[in-house]
């Protein structure tokens, strides 16, 4: 099987290698050959990407080397902004907190959707209802969800969660009001909010697993757990890798939850990298340090790009086999 794959790959690449070199085409023949209309078709997309993505990225790169308040003329300061950010003690707090959030989200947020999806795919009746229920939190606007959860997390004994836990003799817990419980509380809400989307992806992937594999496993006398372990998970491997990298990128850029729940508190215990970027730019009413904010953004982007590239390189072989 493997050898066939390898040889077919070689075959498919051989014709282009043996093809005669193409003649250099002039602008006129390029236009006649459809180049112009292709370009015109692409133009709206190029404009949208250019104006809303590439131009801001370019501006951010430039701004990270400047000191500006966006009103008076900007000054070039070289790498000063990067030096300032790297020597800011809050940066390391933010990195630590973001790493902690990502870790907790990975430990709790990553397996839960998978378990849910597998369970739901096993359900025979009313599967649509379960999918809808699982997806519901994604439909709730994130800001509304956070404000709702703020009520749930009310730290007084009469708060929603504390009342419920009180019935079984637990609590009251401080939730967001304590340096050690604030971050896990944020992760809990984030997991609830995001799980639905991932469940749908997994459910779609599960339907693409050939049923014969399960039949074969049944014939071999495999239990349900053996089927999941030996059939479902290996078949989902590609999707699992994609969702893992998406989640890592997503959690490295977590902003909404700390911003709305705690504003980075108590005492910077939920200050994340993106919140720090926001604080640099807009934290003080007048001291907008846009240079430091863009410098940290650029550094974050580079780290994430390297992380993604490295990750895909390491796992490409594994995912393809």
* Residue placing its CB nearer to another protein in the complex, 177 or 253: 177
* Residue placing its CB nearer to another protein in the complex, 33 or 310: 33
What's the angle, vertex CA 261, arms to CA 256 and CA 263, rounded to 5?
A: 80
Instruction: Give the shortest CB-157-to-another protein separation in angstroms.
Output: 8
Instruction: Give the shortest CB-56-to-another protein separation in angstroms.
Output: 11
Burial of 105 (0-12, 13-18, 19+ CB in 10 A): buried
* Residue placing its CB nearer to another protein in the complex, 196 or 291: 291
* Residue placing its CB nearer to another protein in the complex, 40 or 320: 40
Q: What is the DSSP string of 160-215?
A: HHHHHHHHTT-----GGGSTTTHHHHHHHHHHHHHHHHHHHHHHHHHHTS-HHHHH
Instruction: Give the shortest CB-87-to-another protein separation in angstroms.
Output: 10
CB-based contacts of 253-260 (< 8 A; 24+ apart in sequence): 253/300, 253/304, 254/98, 254/101, 254/102, 254/186, 254/190, 256/142, 256/143, 256/146, 257/146, 257/186, 257/189, 257/190, 258/186, 260/143, 260/146, 260/147, 260/150
Instruction: Give the shortest CB-101-to-another protein separation in angstroms.
Output: 18
Asked whether 213 and 231 are in contact (CB, 8 A), the reply is yes
Instruction: Give the shortest CB-99-to-another protein separation in angstroms.
Output: 19
* Residue placing its CB nearer to another protein in the complex, 198 or 262: 262
Instruction: Give the shortest CB-229-to-another protein separation in angstroms.
Output: 44
* Residue placing its CB nearer to another protein in the complex, 40 or 139: 40
Binding site for another protein (CB under 8 A): 37, 40-41, 43-44, 47-48, 51, 69-72, 89, 154-156, 159, 172, 174, 176-179, 262-263, 265-268, 281-288, 290
224 vs 81: CA distance, rounded Å: 56
* Residue placing its CB nearer to another protein in the complex, 63 or 195: 63
Instruction: Give the shortest CB-154-to-another protein separation in angstroms.
Output: 7
Asked whether 251 and 98 are in contact (CB, 8 A), the reply is yes
């Amino acid at each position: 099987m493997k050898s066939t794959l390898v040889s077919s790959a070689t075959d498919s690449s051989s014709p282009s290698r043996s093809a005669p070199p193409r003649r250099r085409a002039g602008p006129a023949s390029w236009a006649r050959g459809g180049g112009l209309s292709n370009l015109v078709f692409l133009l709206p997309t190029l404009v949208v990407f250019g104006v809303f993505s590439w131009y801001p990225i370019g501006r951010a790169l430039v701004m990270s080397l400047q000191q500006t308040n966006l009103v008076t003329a900007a000054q070039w300061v070289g790498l000063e902004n990067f030096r300032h950010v790297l020597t800011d003690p809050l940066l390391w707090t933010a990195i630590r907190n973001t790493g902690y959030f990502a870790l907790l989200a990975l430990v709790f947020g990553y397996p839960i959707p998978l378990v849910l999806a597998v369970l739901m795919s096993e359900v025979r009746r009313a599967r649509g209802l379960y999918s809808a229920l699982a997806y519901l939190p994604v439909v709730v606007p994130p800001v509304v969800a956070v404000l709702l959860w703020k009520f749930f997390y009310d730290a007084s004994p009469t708060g929603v969660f504390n009342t419920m836990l009180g019935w079984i003799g637990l609590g009251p817990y401080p939730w967001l009001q304590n340096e050690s419980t604030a971050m896990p509380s944020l992760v809990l809400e984030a997991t609830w909010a995001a799980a639905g989307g991932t469940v749908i992806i997994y459910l779609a992937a599960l339907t693409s697993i050939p049923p014969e594999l399960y039949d074969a496993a049944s014939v071999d006398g495999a239990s349900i757990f053996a089927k999941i372990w030996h059939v479902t998970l290996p078949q989902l491997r590609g999707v699992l890798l994609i969702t893992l990298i998406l989640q890592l990128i997503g959690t490295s850029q977590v902003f909404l939850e700390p911003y709305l729940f705690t504003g980075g508190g108590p005492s910077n215990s939920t200050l994340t990298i993106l919140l720090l970027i926001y604080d640099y730019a807009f934290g003080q009413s007048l001291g907008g340090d846009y240079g430091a904010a863009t410098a940290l953004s650029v550094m974050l982007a580079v780290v994430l790009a390297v992380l993604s590239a490295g990750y895909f390189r390491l796992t490409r072989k594994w995912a393809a086999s």
